[in-house]
Amino acid sequence: MNTLIAKALRRPGNLTRPEIAELLDRSDPTELFRAAYGVKLRYTGRMVFLRGIIEFGNYCAKDCFYCGIRRSNREVKRYCLSEDDIVRMAVWAFEQRYGSIVLQSGELESEENTAFVERVLQKIRVVTDGKFGITLSLGEQDEETFRRWREAGAHRYLLRIETSNPEFYARLHPPDHSFLRRVECLRVLKRLGYQTGSGVMIGLPGQTLDDLAGDVAFFRELDLDMIGMGPYIPHRQTPLGQGIEVTPAYAAAQLQLGLKMIAVTRLYLHDVNIAATTALQALDDRGREQGLLAGANVIMPNVTDTEYRADYQLYENKPCLDENAAQCRTCLNGRITGIGEHIGWKYRGDPVHFRQRVGEAVIRLTK
C-alpha cells in the first residue's frame, strides 16, 4: 500500500498539507479510491443517506462571480415558493421514506425572510411529528436568526466556504463579501448545536492543489461534521464563466479531481458525512455513483417541482431538470443498488463525527 495512504488510515488528521496535495496529484487514483471506500465502510457501511433538496427560491443578495443566480444576473426568472408548497414537498419526501430534506435558496437577510423560514420549519415539524431531519442551506445570517431556525426545527446547516484561501476568496467575490464573516458563521452554527457542514468548489480557474489541500485541512480545523463540495462547472451568465468551454476533456479532468477530493477528504477526516453532489452527475451520468465508490455516503436528490428547476441553476447543464421527484426516487434507488450500496430509508443519517463530538452513543451501520 502507498505509504501516505497507510499513514492516513492510521488515524484522522494524520497527513501534512503537502502530503494531502501529493495524494491529490496522483495520476492513478485507483488505490486512493479503494482505501477511502474502506474507511467509509468502517463508519457507515454500505448505507447511503438521502437528503431531498427543496430549492424554494432563487432571489439572492449575493453577487458571487461564479453563480448563476447572482443578484446581477438579469436573465434569471426569479421565484419564491409559498409556505404551503414547501411544506407539501417536504411531506411528500417524508411519506416516501426520505430521512431528511434540505431547504435551499439564495442568500437573503431580513426579518421577513427569517420569519418565513421559521414558519415553514414549524409547520414541517408539526406534520412530521419532529421525526424528519432538516438541513438548511440559506447562507450567512446573524446569530439570532440561526438560533430561531434551530429552535423551530432545523438540525443541520450547510454553509459552503467555496475556498479556504482568503486571497483567492476575494478574487471570486465582490468587495462587500466577507470571508471572515462566513467563517464566523460556521463557528456560530457549531456553538448553537447544529450539525455543521461546509464545502468548496474544485477545479476553479487559478486554483492550485495546495489550495485544495488547504481546504481539506480547513475542514478539520473547524471540526466540521458534513462536507458538500463539487467540481466547478461554469455558467455563461457569470463573470467567471466567460470563455470556458466544457469539452469532454475538461469534464473528465474536473470529475477526476472532484472524486480525488472526496477520497482524500474521507481519508483525512474518516467519520464525517460527505455528499456525492449533483455536479458530479453533470459531468458524467454515473458521476454520483463514482462519488459513492470514492468515499461519499450522502446523495441529495431534487424533490422540487419540475416547473421551477430550470430557474435554479448555479451552474449550467444541471441534470434531472425534467425528471419529477417520483421518477428520481425510482431511478436513484436502482443506481445505488446497482453498485452494491443501499439507501437508508427513513434514516436521518446524522454524521458519526457530530455524535462523537457532542458525546452521543454511536451505532455503526455495517450492513
Asked whether residue 8 is domain-assigned, the answer is yes
pLDDT (mean) for 165-184? 97
Q: Give the span between the Cα atoms of 334 and 306, in whole angstroms.
A: 21
Region of poorest pLDDT, from 66-70, 84-88, 159-163, 319-323: 319-323
Q: Give the span between the Cα atoms of 208 and 20, in whole angstroms.
A: 12
Q: pLDDT-based confidence at 320, cuts 50/70/90? A: confident
Contact residues for 355 (Cβ-Cβ < 8 A; gap 6+): 361, 362
Asked whether residue 264 is domain-assigned, the answer is yes
Asked whether residue 366 is domain-assigned, the answer is no
Burial of 54 (0-12, 13-18, 19+ CB in 10 A): buried
So what's the pLDDT on residue 327?
72
Q: Give the span between the Cα atoms of 283 and 258, in whole angstroms.
A: 10
Residue 4, C-alpha cell as written in the block:
501516505
- 327 or 89, greater pLDDT: 89
Asked whether residue 222 is domain-assigned, the answer is yes
CATH code, domain with 140: 3.20.20.70
So what's the pLDDT on residue 348?
94
Residue 321 confidence (pLDDT) above 80:
no
- 364 or 62, greater pLDDT: 62
Q: pLDDT-based confidence at 1, cuts 50/70/90? A: low
pTM, 2 dp: 0.95
pLDDT (mean) for 10-36? 97
| Alpha-helical runs (H) found in the chain | 3-10, 17-24, 30-44, 83-95, 111-127, 143-152, 166-172, 179-191, 209-221, 248-269, 278-283, 287-293, 306-309, 325-337, 352-357
Contact residues for 319 (Cβ-Cβ < 8 A; gap 6+): 278, 281, 282, 285
Residue 229 · residue 264 · CB < 8 Å: no
- Look at residue 367 and give its three-state secondary structure: coil
Asked whether residue 187 is domain-assigned, the answer is yes
The predicted-structure confidence for 233-292, as pLDDT tens digits, reads as follows 999 999 999 989 999 999 999 999 999 999 999 999 999 999 999 999 999 999 999 999
Residue 303 · residue 310 · CB < 8 Å: no
Distance of CA 255 to the CA centre of its chain: 16
Residue 148 confidence (pLDDT) above 90:
yes
Which domain does 212 fall in, by range? 3-357
Closest alpha carbon to 166 in 122, 211, 133: 211
Residue 310 confidence (pLDDT) above 90:
no
Q: Give the span between the Cα atoms of 45 and 65, in whole angstroms.
A: 39
Residue 55 · residue 300 · CB < 8 Å: no
Asked whether residue 168 is domain-assigned, the answer is yes
Q: How many domains are there within the chain?
A: 1
So what's the pLDDT on residue 300?
94
Closest alpha carbon to 121 in 77, 158, 95, 90: 90
So what's the pLDDT on residue 331?
86
What secondary structure does DSSP assign to 165-230, as a single string? -HHHHHHHS-TT--HHHHHHHHHHHHHTT-EEEE-BEES-TT--HHHHHHHHHHHHHTT-SEE--E
Q: What is the mean pLDDT of the chain?
A: 94
Burial of 161 (0-12, 13-18, 19+ CB in 10 A): buried
Rounded percentage of the chain residues whose pLDDT exceeds 70: 96
Asked whether residue 363 is domain-assigned, the answer is no
HSE toward the beta carbon, residue 364, CA cutoff 13 A: 8
The predicted-structure confidence for 188-227, as pLDDT tens digits, reads as follows 999 999 999 999 999 999 999 999 999 999 999 999 999 9
Closest alpha carbon to 357 in 268, 272, 265, 295: 272
- Look at residue 50 and give its three-state secondary structure: strand
| Secondary element (H or E) of residue 158 | strand 156-158
